[in-house]
Amino acid sequence: MEKVLLIFDSEKFLEEFLKISNELGYKFERRGNLILLGRNLSEEELAAIFYETEAEVLKHVKLYKGEFDDMSCEGLLDIVPKVEPINDFLDEFLFKNIGKLLVNTKIFFHPIISVEKKRVWAVEALCRPPVHIVDLLNVGKKSSQFSEVYCRDKALERFSQLGDSQLYLFLNFHPKFLKNPLENFGDFISSVYLYNLKPERIIVELTEHEAMEMSAIKNLISFLKSEKVKVALDDIGTGYSGLFYLSELKPDIIKIDMELIRDIHKHNLKKVIVNYLIRMAHDNGIKVVAEGVEKIEELETVVYMGVDLIQGFLFSKPTENPNFEEIDKKAEELLSSV
């Protein structure tokens, strides 16, 4: 008879798991550091229980799913080589059901305003799956990679439907999903052409680029630029590495971390840092985006310093169907007043 067995390496974490499952209405049989789950428990129910369980607890448990009747020490030793981490189970579950899980995924666009033109210059695509699925996707590597590609492809499709050939599209790429960067981006360029988009209107935004080797990023940027795709570096200004990457990689665009922009009008040190970043970028022909602008005082400060582009709730929140006419009108009013 197929059963599900959880094997804990710590009684403390076993007790925490039992407490959580009891609160969810599940009663399980315990034998020492083992928990025997009901035969009729579905994979969906099991995944739901693991979702409600703290990640630290899941690190201390392994799962066996299969047939066994011998609960003696000898019998348990036979199944030890067949146990798997909980994350592997969740990954497999999500991978099998990813189509159903992503059916309700939505693409939101967050406008980026040109200071010079006083209108929307670009939009950043944001993938919004159902919230619980997002947390689960962070667990499984295969599922995460699939969802990343799926979201990017859907963003390209939605962007092509906006019908504005003058807009640029920012698309986020996380280094943990780039096992073979040149192959990944080769497939991506093919998708761009599939939706009749121009590569020169696409801006690849590299997030957490510090996780990649310098030589790999340089090769990546060189490849993208050869395909006429622009490159942006995110969260510049956080730590020492931001300046180093800015000087070494020479991207087309940098986005200054929103923590530096928040209440910048009240902090002299933030002003000094941001002013230096803008000057350094402009000296190298790099455009600068100020992220997270929410107050008129922040807008006045960054415009005075010379940023090229602005993104923030002061102009618009991310929406599925941005009203560009209204946003352009608001941009004209706000930027004409500073």
| 121 secondary structure, DSSP code | E
Domain 99-336 has CATH 3.20.20.450: yes
- Consecutive H or E run containing 6: strand 2-8
Classify domain 2-82 at the CATH class level: alpha beta
199: tokens are: 């590569």
On whether the pTM is more than 0.85, the answer is no
Mean pLDDT, range 157-168, rounded to an integer: 92
Q: How far apart are CA 209 and CA 204, in angstroms?
A: 12
Q: Where are the beta strands (DSSP E) in 190-308?
A: 202-206, 230-236, 253-256, 287-291
What would the pLDDT profile of 194-212 be if each residue is shown by its tens digit? Answer: 999 999 999 999 876 555 6
> 166 pLDDT exceeds 70?
yes
What would the pLDDT profile of 137-158 be if each residue is shown by its tens digit? Answer: 554 555 556 667 788 899 999 9
Please, what sign has the CA dihedral across residues 130, 137, 224, 311?
Answer: positive
Q: How distant, in Å, are the alpha carbons of 1, 73, 74, 140, 310 from that of 4?
A: 10, 17, 18, 20, 53
Where in the chain are all domains bearing CATH 3.30.70?
2-82
Per-residue confidence band for 99, with pLDDT thresholds at 50, 70 and 90: low
What would the pLDDT profile of 174-200 be if each residue is shown by its tens digit? Answer: 665 555 666 677 788 899 999 999 999
Winning range, highest mean pLDDT, from 5-19, 102-116, 217-231, 315-329: 315-329
Where in the chain are all domains bearing CATH 3.20.20.450?
99-336
141: tokens are: 């590597």
